[in-house]
């Protein structure tokens, strides 16, 4: 098979993992960096066969270059295009996929070649199963596989791509600093808040639980989007952050797959829910069936007494 891969890079996240996955299929692996020259220089040391730099101008978001990246991808005609999971990565990959007329698949964890096809294994059923999809043509995939630390090599020359000023199509008009939630991504203990909480005032209960167990707080999507009780960097799930705490206590969360995929690497999941049929009871290590307004105060005392 004439295997040629493009990896769309907007930051260093999973760059090593994507490179490793593409190299295993054979053929040339190109990094298409959409960002600063400094990022391209650092990617050039990771072992890619070719590094292209679509240098973005000050104040213009990477998404504004999507069409130009897609045109260049069309000219190069790679068989496989990968990007890591982020809103920018998804948008760039989507544009490239449309130009290449490629099959687009998300949450791809492994890649292999079978005859003339690429086989993409993507996670499904809350990350418990891998589903193999055979793609006979071009494949554009969001890579969600293992990251691998790419060993430093002699840098390849960075090829600066001729980019045109995207003009007024998209401009950064304001940057609002999000509330610091970096601690959530590496926290050992996390309390997740769902729609089961009746009012914003009741967040005090969650604050007390988080303080008693020295935990960070997370939430489901509607608690952010509909209730506006938390900023989006506290949302855990398929479209937001993935976390891997030692302990996750889900309070008033039903356990929909989009939320559960964000905690699939949690060691111990405890669910507090008053509905015996709640889906989360099938996906937790310990289920506490009861009203959160009775259970959470008990948990707070237990953590205060036992740490
Ligand atoms: C494309 C797409 C992407 C999405 N991405 C995400 C994502 O990244 N993250 C995410 O979280 N969601 C995501 N969602 C939304 C997801 O599908 C669910 O709608 C959401 O996770 C449900 O949130 P919830 O569990 O808080 O609410 P609900 O499903 O309404 O569940 C509330 C739970 O609280 C329980 N409850 C009510 N009162 C009490 C009480 N007093 N005591 C105890 N329990 C009580 C109820 O029994 C119920 O089980 C996405 C959806 C789509 C379509």
Interval 127-177: pLDDT, tens: 678 999 999 999 999 998 888 888 778 899 999 999 988 876 778 888 766
Residues 56 and 144 in one domain: yes
- Whole-number Å distance, alpha carbon 92 to ligand 1 midpoint, is 29
**pLDDT of 97:** 98
**pLDDT of 270:** 98
Residues 73 and 198 in one domain: no
Tens of pLDDT, residue by residue over 296-306, are 999 999 999 88
Q: How many CB atoms lie within 10 A of CB 224?
A: 19
Q: Is residue 269 part of a domain?
A: yes
CATH, residue 148 = 3.40.50.620
Residues 218 and 147 in one domain: no
Q: How many CA atoms lie within 13 A of 96 on its CB side?
A: 33
Tens of pLDDT, residue by residue over 241-276, are 889 999 999 999 999 999 998 998 899 999 999 999
- Mutational pocket test of ligand 1: of 270, 273, 291, the residue with most ligand atoms within 8 Å of the beta carbon: 273
| Nearest ligand 1 atom, CA 237 | 8
**pLDDT of 202:** 96
CATH, residue 196 = 3.40.50.1220
- Whole-number Å distance, alpha carbon 89 to ligand 1 midpoint, is 26
Residues 144 and 195 in one domain: no
Does the beta carbon of 156 lie inside 6 Å of ligand 1? no
Residues 97 and 190 in one domain: no
| Total domain count, the chain | 2
Lowest average pLDDT, out of 96-110, 168-182, 185-199, 222-236, goes to 168-182
Does the beta carbon of 259 lie inside 6 Å of ligand 1? yes
The domain of 301 spans 182-306
Query: Is 80 exceeded by the pLDDT of residue 4?
Result: yes
The pTM of the full predicted model, rounded to 2 decimals, is 0.65
Does the beta carbon of 17 lie inside 6 Å of ligand 1? no
Extended strands (E) in the chain: 4-9, 28-35, 50-55, 80-84, 103-114, 117-124, 129-135, 139-143, 158-160, 189-193, 216-219, 247-251, 268-273, 286-289
- Whole-number Å distance, alpha carbon 196 to ligand 1 midpoint, is 8
């Amino acid at each position: 098979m004439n295997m040629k891969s493009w990896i769309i890079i907007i930051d260093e996240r999973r760059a090593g993992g994507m490179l490793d996955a593409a190299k295993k299929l054979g053929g040339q692996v190109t990094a298409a960096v959409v960002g600063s020259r400094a990022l391209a220089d650092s990617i050039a040391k990771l072992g890619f066969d070719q590094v292209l730099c679509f240098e973005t101008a000050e104040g213009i978001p990477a998404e504004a270059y999507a069409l130009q990246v897609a045109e260049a991808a069309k000219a190069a005609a790679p068989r496989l295009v990968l990007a890591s999971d982020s809103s920018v990565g998804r948008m760039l990959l989507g544009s490239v996929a449309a130009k290449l007329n490629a099959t687009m698949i998300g949450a791809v964890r492994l890649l292999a070649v079978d005859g003339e096809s690429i086989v993409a294994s993507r996670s499904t059923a809350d990350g418990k199963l891998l589903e193999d999809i055979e793609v006979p043509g071009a494949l554009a995939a969001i890579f969600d596989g293992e990251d691998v630390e790419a060993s430093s090599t002699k840098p390849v020359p960075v090829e600066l791509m001729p980019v045109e000023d995207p003009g007024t199509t998209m401009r950064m008009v304001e940057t609002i600093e999000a509330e610091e939630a970096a601690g959530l991504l590496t926290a050992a203990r996390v309390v997740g808040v769902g729609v089961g909480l009746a009012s914003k005032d009741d967040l005090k209960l969650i604050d007390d639980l988080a303080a008693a167990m020295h935990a960070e707080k997370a939430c489901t999507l509607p608690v952010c989007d509909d209730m506006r009780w938390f900023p989006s960097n506290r949302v855990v799930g398929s479209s937001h952050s993935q976390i891997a705490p030692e302990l996750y206590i889900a309070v008033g969360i039903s356990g929909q797959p989009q939320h559960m995929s964000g905690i699939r690497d949690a060691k111990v999941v405890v669910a507090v829910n008053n509905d015996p049929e709640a889906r989360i009871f099938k996906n937790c290590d310990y289920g506490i069936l009861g009203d959160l307004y009775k259970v959470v105060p008990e948990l707070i005392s237990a953590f205060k007494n036992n740490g």
